[in-house]
Structure 1
């Protein structure tokens, strides 16, 4: 197969992955302000889309990690053909769509890494992957980030409640004050998360497109993403973010814990800090891991709240399976594309059929901006029985 058509196919698939990354990860920034009523669902996703677009132009350190770190393109005679990148993207897209359908906030980043690693190992060999970089810049940050963000969110939540607690002058009992001001703060912190998401996740697709251009001999190894690559990747993730990803928004906003404004503010501030730091260091961090860890930590920080540990367990299992599952799909796709043009067509047709069927299943029980804040359905999306339903009056009071 000619390089030019294959490269065009790879770039198109990479941009579709970028689109799925956008709607898959909208929840990271906007789930908690939507759940607390700080901002309406439609305004939330529009704001997140704009800030993702802006954030994509801020840094390219993560893109360098993808295009010249994990895969040894041009090193020790390793050459990653566009077909291999195509196979890796198939693994990432299929896993992204499956977890979106289930409402599980899995990592788009790790789906991408898994698909690429599986395809490279099968199509080229284990020597084509820099496993030291995988461990230092992917696996270790993935393990540490939820714990660090969760601990930070726990401390911020405890501090927020301590500073705003007052004692009744007659009884001496502690009573809460109206914490509605945190809702306004949530709009700011969630915007910061959306901006930081653009600085990290959009870079991953930029790295993939750059790797494809390098593999096709269009761009020199080790060079930065070109301006048009940055622009189209930024636009794709922004459009995906505007699409919503409502199923995952419900899970993060209400399926993990009952979120109040002070918690949401603390969770989002911790998430933004962790992601911005990782983007500066070039760590290809999962914003999903960070955001989920922050929400759980904020729930633990508020006395009297409950964590839906069944949902947490299912999400954690999804995190564990993401890398190997995407790697298996990517590896199988690499075996097929190794057969030639017929194999590439067969993989493309099978992937298109799988993705289309998921969209059909989604239409049977659609989730949109009108029913995204229903607590029962948020837990039902991941099969967890709800034991409570928050009233708007209670939420407003706290």
Structure 2
């Protein structure tokens, strides 16, 4: 649940940064809306939870398996806090998966590499490109449809529409990220001998949804500034296009494929895509490069912290 809370405030920017930067919503209203949508989204499906809980590693039962789970979460928490401190929108999802793999390797547990490749690596590579291209295309469509509209009236309309698109983005975040934590909880319960079967106990989903919502409401202002202003200065139509693109990708990946993709990756690249329709130089590519560097380092960085954590825990077992 500590990881879940850090996930909430680390990734709250993903759902609402664009709405705040375009002044479609005030910060506290946006955070409250995102927290509620996060909570509801957590109950929208469990395919992502099944992937994280069963498709990444196969730890042994007993204390060794529990130590692996604990070390994985410590690695993910450490990476979340580090990137939050520097205001970098890295992926909590890939920090968690990197932590699981790193801890499993340190504990000589089985890593299900086919699951890592099919459900994590391939979606991790594809989803940013889909976000970039999808955001670019949707923004071109909006520009064409409203090419003869009054700019002020159009901006006011899209500012209102952003309430819906931001809620959809937060819903997708709950569907993806609350489910990931629920999957790890079930994994820990299973290796500890407290759970059998394939289902997720309702109380696990309830507590995961509640804690991630509380984390979301607390806000992640450092990352919010990066997403909302430092990549590109967004107007309401651009914000709507970016959020709609990202929310659609999260929904399809979670509901159809059960792939634990990164909300950070899809919203960041969608923002880049909509910004590029204005002109390529409008996107601050230096900031984007720093973000992508953090993405590349996330899984190995969290994995190393998790491996070290496992060895420390093992000393006291």
Counterpart position of 2:254: 279
In the other structure, the counterpart of 1:39 is 25
Match in the other structure for 1:162: 144
Contact in 1 for aligned 2:5/2:215 (Cα 8 Å): yes
Q: 2 CA distance for matches of 1:240 and 1:338?
A: 30
Shift of 1:304: 7.9
Other-structure match for 1:254: 229
> Using the alignment, how far apart are the partners of 2:296 and 2:148 within structure 1?
43
Matched residue, 1:210 = 186
Is residue 23 of structure 2 the alignment partner of residue 48 of structure 1?
no
CA–CA separation in structure 2 for the residues paired with 1:99 and 1:184: 32
1:153 is aligned to 135
- Alpha-carbon separation, structure 2, partners of 1:79 and 1:70: 19
State the alpha-carbon separation in 2 of the partners of residues 162 and 80 from structure 1.
Answer: 59
**Does residue 71 of structure 1 match 2:47?**
no
- After superposition, the Cα gap between the structure-2 partners of 1:78 and 1:72, relative to the gap in structure 1 and judged at 3 Å, is farther
Whole-Å Cα distance in 2 between the matches of residues 308 and 105 of structure 1?
Answer: 15
Q: Render the CA deviation track for 1:214-272: whole Å, top value 9, x for unaligned.
A: 0001112x522111111100000000000011111111011111101111111011001
Q: Are 2:176 and 2:250, in contact at CA under 8 Å, matched by a contact in 1? A: yes
1:113 maps to which of 97, 111, 114:
97
Secondary structure at 1:27's aligned position in 2? helix
Q: Distance in 2 between matches of 1:92 and 1:260?
A: 34
Q: Report the number of matched residues.
A: 315
Q: Residue in 2 aligned with 1:138?
A: 120
The residue that corresponds to 1:25 in the other structure is 11
- In 2, distance between residues paired with 1:202 and 1:99? 20
TM-score, normalisation: structure 1: 0.77
Q: 1:102 to 1:296 in 2, by over 3 A?
A: same
Gaps of at least 5 residues in structure 2 are none
- Give secondary structure in 1 for the equivalent of 2:76: helix
Equivalent residue in structure 2 for 1:238, among 192, 213, 229? 213
Residues 157 and 302, structure 1, Cα contact 8 Å, conserved in 2: no
Deviation at 1:302, TM superposition (A): 2.5
CA contact (8 A) 1:72 1:78 kept: no
Query: How far apart, CA to CA, are the structure 2 residues paired with 1:268 and 1:338?
Result: 43
Q: 2:287 matched to which residue of 1?
A: 311
Residue pair 1:258, 1:305 contacting (<8 A) in 2 also: no
**Equivalent residue, structure 2, for 1:322:** 298
Q: Contact 1:158 / 1:302 at 8 angstroms: preserved in 2?
A: no
- For residues 85 and 337 of structure 1, do their structure 2 counterparts lie closer, same or farther at Cα, with a shift above 3 Å needed? same
Q: What TM-score do you get using the length of structure 2 for normalisation?
A: 0.96
How far, CA to CA, are the matches of 1:274 and 1:84 in structure 2?
Answer: 31
Rounded to whole Å, the distance in 1 between the matches of 2:158 and 2:293 is: 32
Cα deviation per residue 1:167-210 (whole Å; 9 max; x = unaligned)? 9xxxxxxx856422111111101100101111111001100110
- Judging changes above 3 Å, is the alpha-carbon distance between structure 1 residues 88 and 242 closer, same or farther for their aligned structure 2 residues? same
**Are residue 90 (structure 1) and residue 65 (structure 2) matched?**
no
Alignment partner, residue 168 of structure 2? 192
Match of 2:313 in 1: 337
